Amino acid sequence: MGMLYRLIRNDVLRSTAVTLTTMLFVAAAALLVALAATLVVNLAGAIDTMMTRAKTPHFMQMHAGHLDRERLAAFADGNDAVADFQVLEFLNLDGSQFVFAGGSLAASVQDNGLSVQSERFDFLLDLDGNVIAPSDGHIYVPITYMQDGTARVGDTVRVAGTPLTIAGPLRDSQMQPLLSSSKRFLVSRDDFADIEPFGSMEYLIEFRLHDLAALGAFQAAYVAAGLEANGPTLTYPLFRLINGLSDGLMIAVILLISVLVIAIAFLCIRFTLQAKIEDDYREIGVMKSIGMRVGDIKRIYLAKYAFVAAVGCALGYALSFSLQEPLLANIRLYMGESDSASWAPFLGLLGVATVFLAITAFVYLALGRFHRIPAAEAIRFGVSQEAPSGGRRVRLSTNQRLGANAFLGLKDVLVRRKLFATMLIVLVLTAFIIIMPRSLHHTISSKSFITYMGVGETDLRFDVQQTDRIADRTAEIAAALEGDDAVSAFVVLTTKAFEARSSDGSEVRIVVELGDHSVFPLTYASGRAPTGDHDIALSALSAGDLGTGVGDVLQVMVGGQARDLTVSGIYSDVTNGGKTAKATFTDDGAATMWSVVGVELTDASLASAKAAQYGARFDFAKVSAMDDFVAQTYGPTLRAVGTASYAAVGISLVISALITLLFMRMLIAKDRYAIAVLKSLGFTASDIKTQYLVRSVFVLALGVVLGTLLANTLGESLAGAVIGAFGASSFAFVVDPLEAYLIAPALMALSVLLATVFGTLDAGTIRVSESIRE
């Protein structure tokens, strides 16, 4: 034991920089894994806790228009799956009706409205998770508006002229995320009644089921019963998904980075071990020749790395406790405390233990090489005789034009491929982490990205809903747009419900948006936009429900007759619950649920002004500028991804510089003899530095090219998977060539080459007289 301790201590002391760096990466890996584990437990737990306390509905149908409460109650009574049923009222108010101290919500793209507290389920909660009971004159505001500074506790807000005091924030288990387009404010019954004449009523028809597993069957039964359905349908799993999305994205990013850091920690270890084995080649041979067991030698190294890994893991785990607070703050605020939070440290510990075990297993496997060192050969040659087959053909005698320095640098990389492969992999990974998140950010912030989410690329958008004369009013808007010189194109899309027959033969109700879909096309995951009267395009979720693919035939009741429609394309959609369809046929008999007018302006910069102008003129419609819509809906996510991508760039540059520095120090230490020989032959210090720079440039160029390729292929699919969480199934990078192909490589070159220059500053100052005697 004493001897083992001394061996480890000596080894750690001799290679302090390398040991510390390895420990650092292990600590970073452990930290990230522990953080991710803690966050997952807290997020999942907090969402569940919140949704349990709020008693979130399992099935919710939004509905505008006439409501037959008796028929609904009868349906609920007659359905065995139903545990509870209620109809809540949501008073839709125009954004301009909410006047805060700092201004109104006129520019808000959200559907803002008032609610009263429910009596049975779907409760609105305060920050302690308790059901709020608002008193007269008080209003509770969605957390988002408290967070962005619109509302402050104690301030007065005028809602449709009625002054109300802001009593506090509220947690809404179903409408809270920005992706959900409605926001509920909570007031007392009396205040609600006072304001009711100023808004339009929308109903939330809500059900709780005995067993969530019966949701699919229940949904089918609801549709089959032909009940109220003028509006989107939302379900419990969807609520849970959108509640977890933005934090889930953050966790995904942390996990991605931690995988890369673990990979780099592994590379560091592989690299040091390799160098170590080469250095000790002779000694190991001698030890073997005097009869020491290979197992004994392995145990020494294993013990060293187990020690390094243990310290690193302990450090990372400890650090994770101080770093998790700021990351958990967001989850705590929006979702509240998780009931299972006490489990988090254990899961974190489990994650860290996994890292530790992975590292020790890795070292154990890497040490397998010891068995393959033949004692005789090691003693005779002192250096590993593994055939340097690489670059055997590359000869100075036939490549003199390269110059001696460039040749020596290149040749060394070719001969010591295994050693340089480590540096190459690190550079490939860092190039990948630099380019991939930047491309992702660039892609999702590009204007056309919304076409992946089921929204056409327009400048302006009119939403006409919850009025009894949708068709007339939409025509009014169309006439006005026709006469507006600033409008270069517009299209009216009308949404109606139809009966369809799914592939298993059952009747389903589908919501179809009718009109010309070629003007502001979506990006189709497969197929194309519908063009003729017998085409229909389906959202990915609808297609899944109906069990149809592109080219399949779907029978739909149009104008009282069954019509065979061919599925022309499938697109991703996050709007209206994600289950939508698009077609171009007309059916004047069917009732209009809502309509949308998409507008393109000759000058896109006028969008906001035009939105305000038309908003004032057609007070029945919600008019929004697309840029505002995107900024308000996806803005925080975009900013988060942007910040994360810049962080990734910074971290990667530091990692590549650090590893290069380490690598160069190690190379120089290993190459002392060769450097001394070169100096004795009359090579100058700058010759030798040039040779190291050539090595770096060579590996760097290869690394950047491979990393860029990888980012644009694997990275694209990976990003596609993340984006898939938003409901978008097809995905192609919009690469910023300047950034990806010029700035990113330039930054990497800068960090790697600076590190090389810095790391090899003293390469030429080796004293020949000392080194050559060795």
Partner 1 sequence: MDKIIVSDSIVKSFGVGRERRNVLDGVSVDIGAGEFVAIMGPSGSGKTTLLFALSGMDSVDSGSVVFDGEDLSRLGDDALADVRRKKMGFVFQQPTLLKNLNVLDNVILPSVRDGTLSALQINEKARALMKMAGIEELETRGVGQASGGQLQRVGICRALMGDPKVIFGDEPTGALNSTSAGEIMDLLADVHRTGTTVVLVTHDVRVATKAERVLFIFDGKIAGAHEAGRYDAACDDVDARQQALATWLAEMGF
Looking up tokens 């998904």, which residue turns up?
A: 241
Per-residue binding letters, 366-395, with partner 1 (x by CB under 8 A): ---------------x-x-x--x------x
Q: Is 12 in the site for partner 1 (CB under 8 A)?
A: no
Smallest distance from partner 1 to CB 762, Å: 12
Looking up tokens 């491309």, which residue turns up?
A: 439
Q: Which of 397, 482, 561, 605 binds partner 1 (CB under 8 A)?
A: 397
Smallest distance from partner 1 to CB 684, Å: 4
- Partners of 274 in beta bridges: none
Residues for the chain: how many in total? 774
Q: Which of 133, 153, 350, 681 binds partner 1 (CB under 8 A)?
A: 681
Q: Is 206 in the site for partner 1 (CB under 8 A)?
A: no
The DSSP H or E segment spanning 537 is: strand 535-539
Per-residue binding letters, 754-773, with partner 1 (x by CB under 8 A): ----------xx-xxx--xx
- Partners of 624 in beta bridges: 461
| Tokens of residue 197, six digits | 């004449």
Q: What is the CA radius of gyration of the chain?
A: 33
Smallest distance from partner 1 to CB 727, Å: 56
- Partners of 156 in beta bridges: 165
Distance CA 746, CA 757 (A): 16
Q: Is 396 in the site for partner 1 (CB under 8 A)?
A: yes
Q: Which of 70, 149, 401, 589 binds partner 1 (CB under 8 A)?
A: 401
Q: Is 683 in the site for partner 1 (CB under 8 A)?
A: yes
Select the span of 131-139, 581-589, 680-688, 737-745 touching partner 1 (CB under 8 A).
680-688
Nearest of 692, 675, 710 to residue 752 by alpha carbon? 692
Per-residue binding letters, 408-427, with partner 1 (x by CB under 8 A): x--xx--x------------
The DSSP H or E segment spanning 110 is: none
Cβ closest to partner 1, residue 209 vs residue 413 = 413
- Cα 352 to Cα 32, 355, 365, distances in angstroms: 9, 5, 20
Smallest distance from partner 1 to CB 264, Å: 28
Cβ closest to partner 1, residue 318 vs residue 396 = 396
Per-residue binding letters, 658-677, with partner 1 (x by CB under 8 A): ---------------xx-xx
The DSSP H or E segment spanning 207 is: strand 200-209
| Tokens of residue 641, six digits | 């991804």
Q: Is 636 in the site for partner 1 (CB under 8 A)?
A: no
Smallest distance from partner 1 to CB 36, Å: 44
Looking up tokens 């394309």, which residue turns up?
A: 569
Smallest distance from partner 1 to CB 257, Å: 37
Q: Where are the beta strands (DSSP E) in 485-552?
A: 487-501, 507-514, 524-527, 535-539
Contact 308, 23 (CB under 8 A): yes
Q: Which of 130, 165, 680, 717 binds partner 1 (CB under 8 A)?
A: 680
Smallest distance from partner 1 to CB 758, Å: 19
Select the span of 272-280, 407-415, 704-712, 737-745 touching partner 1 (CB under 8 A).
407-415
| Tokens of residue 154, six digits | 């104690």
Cβ closest to partner 1, residue 634 vs residue 663 = 663
- Cα 74 to Cα 67, 78, 657, distances in angstroms: 13, 6, 70
Distance CA 256, CA 436 (A): 11
Residues 493-522 that bind partner 1 (CB under 8 A): none
Contact 598, 529 (CB under 8 A): no
Q: Is 684 in the site for partner 1 (CB under 8 A)?
A: yes
Cβ closest to partner 1, residue 130 vs residue 686 = 686
Using DSSP bridges, classify how beta strands 98-100 and 103-104 pair: parallel, antiparallel or unpaired: antiparallel
Which stretches of the chain bind partner 1, using CB under 8 A?
381, 383, 385, 388, 395-397, 400-401, 403-405, 407-408, 411-412, 415, 673-674, 676-687, 764-765, 767-769, 772-773
